[in-house]
Amino acid sequence: MSDPMSPGPGRVDQEHGRHLLLQMLRVRQLEEKCIELYSASKIRGFLHVYIGEEAVAAGILETLSPDDAVVATYREHGHALLRGVPAATILAEMYGYLEGCCRGRGGSMHLFDAATRLYGGNAIVAGGLPLAVGLALADKMSGRSNITACFFGDGAVAEGEFHESLNLAALWQLPVLFCCENNLYAMGTALGRSESQTDMALKAAGYEIPAWGVDGMDVLAVEEAARRAADSVRAGGGPHFLELRTYRFRAHSMFDPERYRDKAEVLKWQERDPIGLLRSTLEAAGQLGPGEWAQLQTEAESEIARAVEIAETGTLEPLEDLTRFVYSERSAP
């Protein structure tokens, strides 16, 4: 059933709290650098940043094992980074260089890395849900204890794949953790203008899937809820659904003029910046001093600065390889 569970902060080990804070800072720094590089025309194509939503990826990925699978959307830079794809590899992909995780062929929206079981990066709204069901089905048929975490936005709920995927996952009791990143807008359309029922967890509960809402700006609440859900999925409890109530501070993409939401609304949500919330929690508990905060910032900034240096030494694909992976090579009969 739908349960508005949102565990309060304060129950965190000092070292682990700093770790979560650093993880979110790493994502924030990467995304801000991507905006800078895009504005300088070093990154081209589409670019969707995750600023404001860092607590979702940081909290949920913390609960997964290396053998679990992750399926994401086109706003997936943070998921890739926290899953273990090096920042330099991510940036090289955006530059279109061979050193990128997809040899520069995927770009910002199609990050993929088999070594970390990151199965996209998917530019199709709701396109990752059937893939997640397939991955989970393969794990179940093979007797593996892995689970698949599938991230998608609230806009995906309007697509047929959402309903088909949840139905099959429930029917076959597949090990999928559905993670709805509800940032209230499907591109430029407010949730209430496209859905008659805006409680995403309630929709999932209609498929007999345990589902509840979580404060997606509170990384401690996200991690606690995700661990509870992931443990249940792994123990054979079938699919679970989390509605992560979050907000993106930037426009949908770098092409978005953002005329559909009021600036006051954005500023109100920015008061609940997930990085600021965790920092305040740790400081209030005496677990983070000014010098330690500055040290974490420097660590994140240094990592991304070094990644840019490495990425910019990348190489372009040779002209003769442009049709490689496009056409299959058939031997003569």
330 within some domain = no
pLDDT score, position 333: 58
CA dist., res. 8 & res. 205, Å (int): 24
pLDDT score, position 288: 95
Is residue 2 predicted with pLDDT exceeding 80?
no
Backbone angles phi, psi at 236, to 5 degrees: 95, 15
* Better-scored residue on pLDDT, 209 or 332: 209
Q: Which of 146, 152, 141, 205 is nearest to 175 (CA)?
A: 146
DSSP assignment of 70-133 equals EE--SS-HHHHHHHT--HHHHHHHHHT-TTSTTTTSS-TT---BGGGTB-----STTTHHHHHH
Is residue 26 a contact partner of residue 303, using CB atoms and an 8 Å limit? yes
Q: Express each pLDDT in 178-201 by its tens digit.
A: 999 999 999 999 999 999 999 999
Q: Express each pLDDT in 133-176 by its tens digit.
A: 999 999 999 999 999 999 999 999 999 999 999 999 999 999 99
Q: Which of 215, 212, 202, 203 is nearest to 177 (CA)?
A: 212
pLDDT score, position 332: 58
Report the relative pairing of strands 211-215 and 2-3 from DSSP bridges.
parallel
pTM tops 0.85: yes
CA dist., res. 34 & res. 93, Å (int): 12
Residues in Cβ contact with 211 at an 8 Å cutoff, skipping those fewer than 6 apart = 1, 2, 3, 201, 202, 204, 205, 240, 241, 242, 243
70 within some domain = yes
13 within some domain = yes
DSSP state of 196: S
Share of the chain above pLDDT 90, in %: 90
- What are the start-end ranges of the H helices in the chain? 14-39, 54-61, 77-83, 87-95, 128-141, 160-171, 200-205, 219-232, 263-270, 274-284, 290-311
Q: Express each pLDDT in 232-271 by its tens digit.
A: 999 999 999 999 999 999 999 998 989 999 999 999 999 9
333 within some domain = no
pLDDT score, position 9: 43
Q: Express each pLDDT in 19-75 by its tens digit.
A: 999 999 999 999 999 999 999 999 999 999 999 999 999 999 999 999 999 999 999
Q: What is the CATH number of the domain that holds 249?
A: 3.40.50.970
9 within some domain = yes
CA dist., res. 301 & res. 77, Å (int): 16
Q: How confident is the model at residue 326 (pLDDT cuts 50, 70, 90)?
A: confident
pLDDT score, position 5: 40
pLDDT score, position 325: 86
**What average pLDDT does range 314-321 have in this prediction?**
92
Backbone angles phi, psi at 148, to 5 degrees: -120, 125
Is residue 331 predicted with pLDDT exceeding 80?
no
* Residue 298 structural domain: 2-321
63 within some domain = yes
What is the number of structural domains in the chain? Answer: 1
pLDDT score, position 324: 87
Is residue 223 predicted with pLDDT exceeding 80?
yes
